[in-house]
Structure 1
């Protein structure tokens, strides 16, 4: 171990207040840790706020994706859109929601876009997206307004929230990331029932406009308190070299990255491209379920209550499952937990077919439960795996690259999924989704942490400035 001399930094307490000292220690592999400062020294309050505020923001934007399927019938009737039109609008939304993560991360890591500004910009764009969905009757303007502008706005908020919690909790990022990520699903629950029971062609303008204002206000207020920790920061009281303390089990199962990988270095390990392919496959299956479950339930003869409840169950379990597997991954290890989750997702697709063929409502809800669990739980695992493998300093960009796989999955999960349903029926489409999940589970077995277990050599350590 090596260490730099003690250094001081300015804190929010003011120039006349005592300044906390920190030092930078380097482990045997060249990884640098900045130790000595507490979360209160940097923020002026506990870092727990950097969990709860991103969580609330994620709940606010969840309506755009997880409740959209419940609003499609009314939107089609109000604007004269076909089912294919509404599915492609969601697909474009998913494309830009995922696609903005990488450029936003690039701007943030170069100091050109702060976390706070990214959140405020995203909030305004989400409002514009809902106004477009409400007032633009032509498909192309609606695609540009909700799909492009609203999707990019949601993506700015999503990526900022996920990266924020990962930076503040490097020793327990599985549970914390899972908790925050869960809000992106179950936050939509009230809106799923609103869209199924209190949303019609007589009030859709008012409902969508109010939802846009709600997202704007919630996200903008939360954003006022967002702040990143210093680069290489490590929580005070936890030895970064011995991994001692209350998080020792998590660190043993999920050791920190051997160094801070730049995006180019991360790609060259081979692990980041593998994670990208897995996101393409698993997110495609998840988006397919979100897009078609309500319609499938109605086609097999289930009433609107069961259709809405199945989507509500999926949203709640999707969100709660993210928190549970995040915590579980701290105990089992990320890769083991990821394989388990993806297998459950695949089996659930075949179960939905079986329940639909039997016309069994309770069985259908059970597999909606499992599909919701598997269809959301892999997101926080990838969000935690990325800094576990490549470090925190470039995580905004590295995770942006991994998450960009959802660009492709948004196309075949929603828009192309509608073509498969039209050609093969729901049974054929769900069977294909199940097979895709099993292929992704097999790929997960190939994951290895770079530089520690043969997944590509760790680059030589750079000197500490």
Structure 2
């Protein structure tokens, strides 16, 4: 593969630094010469840490919700099915906004900063609705729809921005940021299990809404995307034989052969396969998040074990995303993805076993595995998407892949509650394990478009 300079000029940014564009043998263009400090005025590491903090702030909406459902049901007079459907609607809109938000960002209509700030205010409205509306339909509209859209704006912006700033080593960075969306909920899981009741739920939910608003607004103020085709200075995008971390990662996860538009990505057949695999895997993950605490209580484990199992799941769910993200930079994205999906499936059968023999330590162990597998696949799909289709249209392409969570939220939460009612927890967990194994088989079919089959992707 050779590089040939094809253009040079001023950046069009306020930096005034010069850059040049080179093209590889596949016709992909790289914009070289500008450092992150030329564009931002500071290190691009801030585009990892700030999105990470914002993701931790919004994680309470999904990962701590299962711990709050009993109090919410008692306070508002809702059934268990009502509370699960509120979360399912939240998931539907949280995932559904990713594609339109990405399209607006890439058209220049909505900046990263504006998208995230808008999301912050919508998250606040969601918690206020959950706190003050007894009518379940108003709670669905406020928390499920408005709050879900707000969280989705924050989530999609943070994840896509990291991939744009770290195109040469996106797995570990994406996994780190994505991990905040899980373990950031840990304090609230214990608050909802031990300090949340019908006497204080208004105050607690209102304060959480304000907390999310303030944290996300502060982070969003500094958000900014790099120029299209930007590549970090000092790293050769065409070098796959070096000994540095970036070169080794590029050897295992070569850049996309060109920048695919959403229509082109769909036509390759790989984006629909990613979508299907994510639908199946995310459904199993959401099922575990929604029902693990209730299953622990049904089996007869005490509130400490129930809360700890969810806490373990949340922490490992988040830490696992960072670990697997790093692992994918070293071993390859697709093998890492298949590995975590299989672990998630096996964990579902392990939870059944632990419940049957009434073993608390085994239950916590398989909650550990379920949390690991149930979170680590998200950054893998987030990193695979620009690996396969390029960074320029990543916000829309990953928005399409992530939209699979629309379906997952329905059968993982709402429909999952119906399966539990009909088949019991053992039957529901067994079905979840089988679905996860099917998702792993689908992931095995993934191939980088335009790349030879013997690559690591």
What is the TM-score normalised by the length of structure 2? 0.97
Paired residue for 2:28? Answer: 31
* TM superposition shift of 1:120: 0.4
Q: Is the 8 A contact 1:287 1:414 kept in 2?
A: yes
**1:291-306 map, 5 Å:** 291-306=290-305
* TM superposition shift of 1:187: 0.1
Cα deviation digits, residues 65-101 of structure 1 (max 9, x gap): 0000000000000000000000000000000000000
**1:178-189 map, 5 Å:** 178-189=175-186
Paired residue for 1:157? Answer: 154
In the alignment, the residues of structure 1 paired with residue 145 and residue 453 of structure 2 have an alpha-carbon distance, to the nearest angstrom, of 40
Q: Do structure 1's residue 106 and structure 2's residue 108 form an aligned pair?
A: no
Q: Secondary structure in 2 aligned to 1:324?
A: helix
Match of 1:90 among 64, 87, 92: 87
In the alignment, the residues of structure 1 paired with residue 245 and residue 272 of structure 2 have an alpha-carbon distance, to the nearest angstrom, of 33
RMSD: 1.0
In the alignment, the residues of structure 2 paired with residue 151 and residue 6 of structure 1 have an alpha-carbon distance, to the nearest angstrom, of 43
Paired residue for 1:386? Answer: 385
In the alignment, the residues of structure 1 paired with residue 319 and residue 453 of structure 2 have an alpha-carbon distance, to the nearest angstrom, of 34
Paired residue for 2:37? Answer: 40
**1:67-146 map, 5 Å:** 67-146=64-143
Match of 2:57 among 57, 60, 63: 60
In the alignment, the residues of structure 2 paired with residue 364 and residue 46 of structure 1 have an alpha-carbon distance, to the nearest angstrom, of 43
Paired residue for 2:434? Answer: 435
In the alignment, the residues of structure 2 paired with residue 190 and residue 322 of structure 1 have an alpha-carbon distance, to the nearest angstrom, of 19
In the alignment, the residues of structure 2 paired with residue 240 and residue 319 of structure 1 have an alpha-carbon distance, to the nearest angstrom, of 30
In the alignment, the residues of structure 1 paired with residue 453 and residue 361 of structure 2 have an alpha-carbon distance, to the nearest angstrom, of 47
Q: Do structure 1's residue 280 and structure 2's residue 279 form an aligned pair?
A: yes
Match of 2:219 among 222, 244, 249: 222
* TM superposition shift of 1:4: 2.5
Q: Do structure 1's residue 173 and structure 2's residue 175 form an aligned pair?
A: no
* TM superposition shift of 1:27: 0.5
Paired residue for 1:461? Answer: none
Q: Secondary structure in 2 aligned to 1:321?
A: helix
Paired residue for 2:197? Answer: 200
How many residue pairs get matched?
Answer: 450
**1:412-431 map, 5 Å:** 412-431=411-430
Q: Secondary structure in 1 aligned to 2:259?
A: coil
* TM superposition shift of 1:454: 5.9
In the alignment, the residues of structure 1 paired with residue 235 and residue 331 of structure 2 have an alpha-carbon distance, to the nearest angstrom, of 21
Q: Do structure 1's residue 4 and structure 2's residue 32 form an aligned pair?
A: no
In the alignment, the residues of structure 2 paired with residue 38 and residue 91 of structure 1 have an alpha-carbon distance, to the nearest angstrom, of 43
Q: Secondary structure in 2 aligned to 1:227?
A: coil
Q: Is the 8 A contact 1:12 1:43 kept in 2?
A: no
In the alignment, the residues of structure 1 paired with residue 239 and residue 343 of structure 2 have an alpha-carbon distance, to the nearest angstrom, of 36
Q: Is the 8 A contact 1:165 1:177 kept in 2?
A: yes
**1:223-242 map, 5 Å:** 223-242=220-239
Q: Is the 8 A contact 1:383 1:399 kept in 2?
A: yes
In the alignment, the residues of structure 1 paired with residue 430 and residue 30 of structure 2 have an alpha-carbon distance, to the nearest angstrom, of 48
Q: Is the 8 A contact 2:168 2:237 kept in 1?
A: no
Cα deviation digits, residues 250-273 of structure 1 (max 9, x gap): 100000000000000000000000
**1:333-344 map, 5 Å:** 333-344=332-343
Q: Is the 8 A contact 1:11 1:41 kept in 2?
A: no
Q: Is the 8 A contact 1:12 1:44 kept in 2?
A: no
Cα deviation digits, residues 199-230 of structure 1 (max 9, x gap): 00000000000000000000001001000000
In the alignment, the residues of structure 1 paired with residue 163 and residue 24 of structure 2 have an alpha-carbon distance, to the nearest angstrom, of 21
In the alignment, the residues of structure 1 paired with residue 260 and residue 14 of structure 2 have an alpha-carbon distance, to the nearest angstrom, of 30
In the alignment, the residues of structure 1 paired with residue 203 and residue 376 of structure 2 have an alpha-carbon distance, to the nearest angstrom, of 34
Q: Do structure 1's residue 21 and structure 2's residue 18 form an aligned pair?
A: yes
